[in-house]
């Protein structure tokens, strides 16, 4: 058994979906025989983003909304590492929305897991981009007036080469999906439906259990994937597919940016550069 446990106990509310994501991620890394010194967990800021503290690997708890650029930086610096970016829906789709689009487009070889509880958990219950229309939150006391952000169609439209959905209430399936995401070569996005039992009284475990089902379509069929990606919205959340929605390998960006290819330091003199003249401009 590869030891991924830490002495720290997660500080989540009892019953929070983040517990299953934590277990599934550690189990996926263990089953893929990835040693802790070859894994880096990069998060943002939020309840779920505390997760690097609870996994015995390398980790960065970074800035809110900046999971993807930090993860990409780690991957470029050392392409041999397994880099897993992880954060909340507020972190990834609001502050980090721009990075999400371009991460999918550029296709760096990283995993990106979103703990999608459809609320801002850590800051105590404000509406997030994936909060459903009509839902009352602290910031939408008369009901959310705007339509929800659609992460799965967005990832597909932006060009992600691996797009999947999973549910924190089904930890074994979630673990299998995380394993597939890690094994995929390219940007692998998993939208994880994660109940926040404290602030989101609408998207509960029972609410999901009545709606989720495992899809068995051919994930290399883009048109079918597009249809599945939209199913929650076209059925008014009556049917929510879980599983790999789309998967097709294509060129990854990593090789272009690899330090070996652009040896930016090769022409520097060994003693370094004298920048004192240049610096005077700013004095
Ligand atoms: C740049 C910046 N903006 C805003 C915040 C305040 N902030 C901290 S966590 C958070 C939202 C957390 O929600 P989410 O990302 O969905 O994660 P969750 O807590 O639900 O897991 C916000 C707005 C911050 N820390 N930094
Ligand atoms: S506030 Fe919500 S997301 Fe945060 S730990 Fe509690 S249940 Fe989990």
User: What CATH number should be reported for the domain holding residue 117?
Assistant: 3.40.50.970
Please work out whether the CB of residue 48 comes within 6 Å of at least one atom of ligand 1: yes
Q: Counting beta carbons within 10 angstroms of the beta carbon of residue 49, is it exposed (0 to 12), middle (13 to 18) or buried (19 or more)?
A: buried
39: domain range?
A: 18-280
d(CA 258, CA 10): 35
Q: Does 75 reside within a domain?
A: yes
Helix (H) or strand (E) holding 51: none
Atom of ligand 1 minimally distant from the CA of 18? 21
Res 17: pLDDT: 98
Q: Does 4 reside within a domain?
A: no
Res 275: pLDDT: 77
CA-nearest residue for atom 2, ligand 2, is 196
d(CA 229, CA 244): 10
Rounded distance from Cα 147 to ligand 2 centre (Å): 23
Domain count, the chain: 1
DSSP string, 162-206: EEEEEETT-HHHHHHHHHHHHHSSS-EEEEEE---TTT-SSS-HH
Rounded distance from Cα 78 to ligand 2 centre (Å): 33
pTM of the entire predicted model:
0.92
Rounded distance from Cα 48 to ligand 1 centre (Å): 10
Res 16: pLDDT: 98
Q: Does 10 reside within a domain?
A: no
Give, for all 283 residues of the chain, the pLDDT tens digit.
Answer: 789 999 999 999 999 999 999 999 999 999 999 999 999 999 999 999 999 999 999 999 999 999 999 999 999 888 899 999 999 999 999 999 999 999 999 999 999 999 999 999 999 999 999 999 999 999 999 999 999 999 999 999 999 999 999 999 999 999 999 999 999 999 999 999 999 999 999 999 999 999 999 999 999 999 999 999 999 999 999 999 999 999 999 999 876 666 555 555 556 666 777 778 878 877 7
Rounded distance from Cα 117 to ligand 2 centre (Å): 9
Q: Which of 17, 47, 126, 202 most suits a substitution to test ligand 2, by most atoms within 8 Å of the C-beta? A: 47
Q: Which ligand is nearest to the CA of 20?
A: 2
Q: Which ligand is nearest to the CA of 10?
A: 2
Please work out whether the CB of residue 120 comes within 6 Å of at least one atom of ligand 1: yes
Q: Does 65 reside within a domain?
A: yes
Res 269: pLDDT: 67
Rounded distance from Cα 82 to ligand 1 centre (Å): 25
Please work out whether the CB of residue 120 comes within 6 Å of at least one atom of ligand 2: no
- Three-state secondary structure call for residue 262: coil
Q: Does 143 reside within a domain?
A: yes
Q: Does 263 reside within a domain?
A: yes
Q: Does 2 reside within a domain?
A: no
Q: What percent of the chain has pLDDT over 90?
A: 86
Helix (H) or strand (E) holding 97: helix 97-106
Q: Does 142 reside within a domain?
A: yes
Please work out whether the CB of residue 116 comes within 6 Å of at least one atom of ligand 1: no
Neighbours of 13 (CB within 10 A): 14
- Three-state secondary structure call for residue 70: helix
Q: Are 190 and 112 in contact (CB under 8 A)?
A: yes
Beta strands 240-247 and 162-167 are: antiparallel
Res 1: pLDDT: 73
Cα–Cα–Cα angle for 135, 137, 141, nearest 5°? 90
Token pair of 243 as six digits: 């599983």
Q: Which of 46, 139, 197 most suits a substitution to test ligand 1, by most atoms within 8 Å of the C-beta? A: 46
Rounded distance from Cα 118 to ligand 2 centre (Å): 11
Q: Is the dihedral of CA 139, 157, 92, 188 positive or negative?
A: positive
d(CA 215, CA 162): 15
Rounded distance from Cα 60 to ligand 1 centre (Å): 16
């Amino acid at each position: 058994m590869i030891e991924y446990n830490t002495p720290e106990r997660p500080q989540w509310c009892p019953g929070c979906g983040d517990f299953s994501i934590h277990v599934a991620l550690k189990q996926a890394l263990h089953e893929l025989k990835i040693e802790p010194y070859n894994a880096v967990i990069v998060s943002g800021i939020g309840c779920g983003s505390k997760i690097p503290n609870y996994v015995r690997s390398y980790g960065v708890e970074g800035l809110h909304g900046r999971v993807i650029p930090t993860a990409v930086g780690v991957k470029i610096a050392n392409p041999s590492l397994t880099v897993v970016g992880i954060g909340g829906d507020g972190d990834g789709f609001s502050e980090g929305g721009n990075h999400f689009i371009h991460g999918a487009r550029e296709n760096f070889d990283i995993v990106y897991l979103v703990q999608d509880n459809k609320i801002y958990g850590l800051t105590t219950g404000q509406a997030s981009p994936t909060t459903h229309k009509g839902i009352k939150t602290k910031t939408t006391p008369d009901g959310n007036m705007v339509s929800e952000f659609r992460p799965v169609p967005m990832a597909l439209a932006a060009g992600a080469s691996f797009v999947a959905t999973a549910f924190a209430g089904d930890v074994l399936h979630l673990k299998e999906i995380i394993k597939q995401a890690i094994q995929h070569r390219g940007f692998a996005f998993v939208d994880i439906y994660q109940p926040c039992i404290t602030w989101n009284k609408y998207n509960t475990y029972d609410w999901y259990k009545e709606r989720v089902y495992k899809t068995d379509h051919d994930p290399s069929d883009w048109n079918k994937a597009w249809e599945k990606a939209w199913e929650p919205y076209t059925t008014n959340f009556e049917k929510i597919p879980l599983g790999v929605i789309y998967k097709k390998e294509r060129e990854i960006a990593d090789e272009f940016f690899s330090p070996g290819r652009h040896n930016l330091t090769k022409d520097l003199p060994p003693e370094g550069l004298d920048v004192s003249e240049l610096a005077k401009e700013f004095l």
